[in-house]
Structure 1
């Protein structure tokens, strides 16, 4: 006797009415009748006395009900316990981020996640901007919040959580520092400091070689870490694009953040290994989505003209 057939028998034994049994189980009365007849044929005994006015258990039906009830209840309790365990994650989840403002959102989401899954722990990982994919690929990170695009066959792109206006970091003594905005065409007039070791499609978007009209953008020194970019710009070696929010986190007297008036915003989204698309990861993704509200768009920031 299959589990569904046991369920039909036990509900009918309780209700003693084919219609009410069908309603409780969301099936038709005919389905209930077919199941009972199948059970009776298999057992070689009548389980119910049926008339046009009533349905009653036979003595064998009573005996079967008593024997099945305890076992069925145990099965239901075991299934419920397994489902609850599946929703309650344990162990450590390693969550990476690139920019400091991404880290703020990750920490906020972690509070939500730990409330929902108190037996889990979160380890935060801050990665250098020149190596965003290796930690995911070598198993040292379960998911991360980072600048997009990421277009790799072994990496899953989750939702874009927020976007930020793009700005240009310029030396405080550079003429651009006196402007209220800059244009992508202005990049042809100054050396551009870029980060190395990123995928080419990422570099083409964030550190282009030509302006929209086709003018060549000169290259300045390259950098492998964010602090190197700040040092090079502050020393007057060139300019570098970033999120306008960076002005709040990395205000320096030798650097000014000037908003672009015609550049696309910087997108930030979640990524994780295709081989690690686990319920644990998906639960944290949901926590990130739920925690997205506190991250407000940047207003006027220190050092921005």
Structure 2
């Protein structure tokens, strides 16, 4: 009897010890998302969780592992420690295999034979996207569409990691030449001005009138996108004056509303990011922007080709704003 009690206690201790070192699937998702966003607030928004929940999860994993995973020197823009980078690199493929396996089993049980994973870059909202998706699902009833928001600074990272099959994004973006890009819509670039700005009541604004203005810029990590939305190619010799940097369209609108500067955006932004502190005006003298759907060149599945065809079909549709 004494031996049995001892065995019971020993096994119980082993189970408890294992639980102490167990990473829940949700905690892994939080860590992987934080590795993409490098920002607690954006990670919380993307996962529909509180920022406290994100912080609590990361600290819990650090306690289990016994070392820091996140560098918190700058609370607004965190980074990963070398150990954190190693852990994320090794976890990511395993996590996505598990998620795909569970999803496949669940969908098979409901008679669904496949899933098309569609990523959306923040700021790539488009009024015809729901119609495209509805048309796709009508013609492919055995396929389910799964939508997810991808990172703003690097929207195609989701494609590279195998987390998405296609991604809606704003061109240009880094490494664009390595992907298949289908143009969904072409829109003029407009300027966001604070209410009361000297040009806020103008029917349209010549770009030459904006050359001396302070601009709200995208972060440097967005690369060619930052240069495009500052219209650097249209400035001639006039240097750009950057007042502040932001990490997304919502932050851009908010920064302009608070008087930080002005910014360029797509015309349709005014449909999705309204703010009483700003006005949107068309700009003369600069070219348009493109909303695109991005896919891997080697992905020749008929279902992907069908979706790309549906997206290309709306390019000729009239945009009503």
TM-score per shorter chain, which class? 0.5 to 0.7
Number of residues paired by the alignment? Answer: 210
Give the 3-state SS of the residue equivalent to 2:290 in structure 1.
strand
Is the contact made by 1:185 and 1:211 (CA closer than 8 Å) also made in structure 2?
A: no
1: CA distance, partners of 2:318 / 2:122: 15
The question of 1:175 aligning with 2:198 is answered yes
Aligned Cα root-mean-square deviation (Å): 2.5
CA offsets per residue over residues 38-83 of structure 1, 9 Å max, x none?
A: xxxxxxxxxxxxxxxxxxxxxxxxxxxxxxxxxxxxxxxxxxxxxx
Aligned pair partner of 1:120 in 131, 143, 159:
143
1: CA distance, partners of 2:200 / 2:149: 30
Give the 3-state SS of the residue equivalent to 1:130 in structure 2.
coil
- The two structures have a TM-score, normalised by structure 2, of 0.59
Structure showing greater Rg: 1
Is the contact made by 1:92 and 1:123 (CA closer than 8 Å) also made in structure 2?
A: yes
Rate the CA distance shift 1:93–1:210 in 2: closer, same or farther, 3 A. Answer: closer
Aligned to 1:187: 210
Rate the CA distance shift 1:210–1:190 in 2: closer, same or farther, 3 A. Answer: farther
Aligned to 1:228: 251
2: CA distance, partners of 1:258 / 1:107: 26
CA offsets per residue over residues 234-258 of structure 1, 9 Å max, x none?
A: 0000111011222222222100101
Aligned to 2:319: 297
Aligned to 1:110: 133
Give the 3-state SS of the residue equivalent to 2:153 in structure 1.
coil
Q: Give the drift of 1:128.
A: 4.4
Give the 3-state SS of the residue equivalent to 1:297 in structure 2.
coil
Give the 3-state SS of the residue equivalent to 1:189 in structure 2.
coil
Is the contact made by 2:194 and 2:262 (CA closer than 8 Å) also made in structure 1?
A: yes
Rate the CA distance shift 1:177–1:223 in 2: closer, same or farther, 3 A. Answer: same
CA offsets per residue over residues 125-157 of structure 1, 9 Å max, x none?
A: 233432312111111111112211246277423
Unaligned runs of 5+ in 1: 1-88, 300-305
The question of 1:161 aligning with 2:177 is answered no
CA offsets per residue over residues 9-65 of structure 1, 9 Å max, x none?
A: xxxxxxxxxxxxxxxxxxxxxxxxxxxxxxxxxxxxxxxxxxxxxxxxxxxxxxxxx
2: CA distance, partners of 1:298 / 1:166: 16
1: CA distance, partners of 2:241 / 2:225: 18
Q: Give the drift of 1:297.
A: 2.7
Aligned to 1:281: 304
Is the contact made by 1:155 and 1:271 (CA closer than 8 Å) also made in structure 2?
A: no
Rate the CA distance shift 1:245–1:154 in 2: closer, same or farther, 3 A. Answer: closer
1: CA distance, partners of 2:205 / 2:176: 36
- The two structures have a TM-score, normalised by structure 1, of 0.62
Rate the CA distance shift 1:119–1:108 in 2: closer, same or farther, 3 A. Answer: same
The question of 1:251 aligning with 2:306 is answered no
